[in-house]
Amino acid sequence: MATVTYDKATRIYPGSEVPAVDQLDIEIADGEFLVLVGPSGCGKSTSLRMLAGLEDVNGGSIHIGDRDVTHLPPKDRDIAMVFQNYALYPHMTVAQNMGFALKIAGVNKTDIRAKVEEAAKILDLTEYLDRKPKALSGGQRQRVAMGRAIVREPQVFLMDEPLSNLDAKLRVQTRTQIAGLQRRLGVTTVYVTHDQVEAMTMGDRVAVLKDGLLQQVDTPRNMYDKPANLFVAGFIGSPAMNLVEVPIADGGVKFGNSVVPIERAALSEAQSKGDTNVVVGCRPEHFVVVNGESDGAASGLTKADEKKEAGLAVTVNVVEETGADAYVYGTAEFGGEIKDLVIRVDSRDVPEKGAKLNVVPRPGETHVFAAGSGERLSD
């Protein structure tokens, strides 16, 4: 086991002046499961390949434990990698695939068989050891690729979108198995995915990248509750956070026909920069549908707001029912512009298409960002 440290690690591809990964700074603890997530082209796979030794490091350094591995070849880094396409040898059995790296390293056959059988038992592959990859399902092949990594007993596991070839149901099942297996083995793991739900459900911490730059690294809960900027706020969460630019009003922000109170510190910080508008974020589950006095009280509206048609008028376009929840996809007017909003509603009381809802953010559940820089203003 070992820690992993990216110390201002930079990768610039030949022929390009823009870094694919720009001064990446992350410290990964011994035994931690860190997920690198972001849209296509953000630098997450490049970051992983730099750690594996498959990409050159043009600036900064990378350490595994107390060793500087920046310029070491992959074979000397004591890592094992699980690829997106599994990379199994089609002419070898499962047992031969899992033990191949040990065979190349000169380990005797008895020890190889023992390690393969132990890994197969962990991964529920014992009955498939004599089969070839073509006789396995996608999920079973993925487990063989995991087994090949496990038998090597590396200091670090590297996983590059290993679930992307599986169907939706199997992905959910397998990501639970991988997370549970990693916690059981206690091996430091760096995992790359473009799926933010996968990242949030698997990682001890999540690192979000955009255009080669690290945006935020934090626990899934902290990242959901306190995104560092507009990009993270819009990327993390499904459905995504609603983000709208609204004017600052006395003690809060103007939200439709209501003034929604927000943190005084956030308002002061925005006003100190001369901003008259801020971007307010509200997750779909944090809206209150205003339909009477009880709802008005729950949303923290003033008596003046309750006397008129309070909150923001939303026109329902589509309702997506998932069973336990229902999500309204609608539109509302902000400063003369029509914006899309997503609101979670009671699945037993679903509005009709074309209906009008009046909504306000739940007190204390708003996120405030600077309109110019996009940085978080609220605590």
Burial category of 290 from C-beta neighbours within 10 Å (exposed 0-12, middle 13-18, buried 19 and up): buried
Query: Residue 368 CB: number of other CB atoms within 10 A?
Result: 22
CATH number corresponding to 4-235: 3.40.50.300
Burial category of 364 from C-beta neighbours within 10 Å (exposed 0-12, middle 13-18, buried 19 and up): exposed
CATH classification number, 242-370, choose in 2.30.300.10, 3.40.47.10, 3.30.750.24, 2.40.50.140: 2.40.50.140
CA 247 from centroid of its chain's CA atoms: 31
Dihedral sign, Cα of residue 219, residue 223, residue 228, residue 232? positive
Contacts of 319 (CB under 8 A, 6+ apart): 326, 327, 328, 329, 345, 350, 351, 353
Whole-model pTM: value is: 0.88
The confidence score (pLDDT) of residue 298 equals 45
Question: 261-317, pLDDT tens digit by residue?
Answer: 888 888 888 888 888 899 999 999 999 998 633 344 444 544 444 444 678 999 999
The confidence score (pLDDT) of residue 270 equals 87
Question: 3-42, pLDDT tens digit by residue?
Answer: 999 999 999 999 999 999 999 999 999 999 999 999 999 9
Q: Where are the domains of the chain?
A: 4-235, 242-370
The confidence score (pLDDT) of residue 269 equals 87
